[in-house]
Amino acid sequence: MTAPPEVTGSAADADPEAALQGMPKKAIQGRSLGQIAWLRLKRDKVAIAGAIVIALLILVAIAALLLDRVFDVVHPNEFHQDLIDTQNGTLAPLGTFGGMSGAHPLGIEPVNGRDILARIFAGSWISLLIATLATVLSVIIGTTMGIIAGFFGGWVDTLISRLMDVFLAFPLLVFAMALVGVLPDTAFGLSPEMVRIGLLIFIIGFFNWPYIGRIVRGQTLSLREREFVDAARSLGARGPYILFRELLPNLVAPILVYATLLIPTNILFESALSFLGVGINAPTATWGGMLSDASRFYTMPHFMLWPGLAIFVTVLAFNLFGDGLRDALDPRAR
């Protein structure tokens, strides 16, 4: 056997950095939890498609509100009696497919001839406004009650948990119908439409907070036993600091996901109230109100198709985006 050759001369004195000369230097950057969630969400094509539809719906709702209430360009309540068959007494739209034409792409309503497309656009901002503000109200109340119940425990947790059970057992639909029928249409100098919108936001938001309250309570019960909470206590942190600086930031992900999934539920609930005649007063256009009017003309399916399709697409888009957002924010997801 021969001994390995010894490294001598210039090879022994070589600078290790010389081998790296000429190679591009690139700093290694870490990724935050937000960046990781965004990368996951971008890979979910279905969730991105839902987000695009939601963005388009929001733009349509804003445009419809401005064109109707500010610039007075679109008139969803304008009658077109000349396009209704009054001679034969059918009161059906003239022409084929419910009176579809270039001026009325989705046709017109029977009896009065109001443009269906204009009314769907006009009803979009009402549904999104009520559902979004009701969700915000539910999130604020549910997060506050849930985090207090989960952190303090004991009799506080028992009291809030029983209060949640009472709200969950409450017949919300019956109560909403009774309350809307009793309260006046005018208050605080507001128009009947704004009073009814505010009332629906309060009813839907106030009585739906236990759902998100239970989720926040369960997450808080798990987080309060973590090491970072014990470390904050050992450093002398008090309850409010731990609640809002340690626990609440770690609850943002589940709160955001559930809020996204709660919006379509509120849209359906508002549509159901309008369908039953206790939602927004006529002649203001709402998707549920259009379905209620269409139920009297079951022989004309186009009248019921378009508002039902608008509700379906909106709810589906929010659900798809909410599912994708949940998967992206879940640290256990691969």
Residue 279 and residue 196 in contact, taking contact as beta carbons nearer than 8 Å: yes
Residue 314 and residue 61 in contact, taking contact as beta carbons nearer than 8 Å: no
Calpha distance 334→328 (Å, rounded)? 9
Least confident piece of the model among 27-36, 94-103, 120-129, 319-328: 27-36
pTM as predicted = 0.84
> Is residue 9's pLDDT more than 80?
no
Q: For 146-171, write each residue's pLDDT tens digit.
A: 999 998 888 999 999 999 999 888 88
The residue whose two tokens read 């425990």 is 153
Give the per-residue pLDDT at 28. Answer: 55
Give the per-residue pLDDT at 214. Answer: 93
Confidence class of residue 56 from pLDDT cuts 50, 70 and 90?
very high
Least confident piece of the model among 23-32, 53-62, 69-78, 168-177: 23-32
Every domain of the chain and the residues it spans:
52-57+123-333
> Is residue 298's pLDDT more than 80?
no
Give the per-residue pLDDT at 297. Answer: 78
Calpha distance 100→75 (Å, rounded)? 17
Give the per-residue pLDDT at 25. Answer: 55
18-34: average pLDDT: 61
Architecture in CATH of 52-57+123-333:
Orthogonal Bundle (1.10)
Q: For 165-205, write each residue's pLDDT tens digit.
A: 998 888 888 888 888 777 777 777 778 788 889 989 998 99
Token pair, residue 28, equals 């290694």
Give the per-residue pLDDT at 331. Answer: 59
79-85: average pLDDT: 80
Least confident piece of the model among 5-14, 54-63, 276-285: 5-14
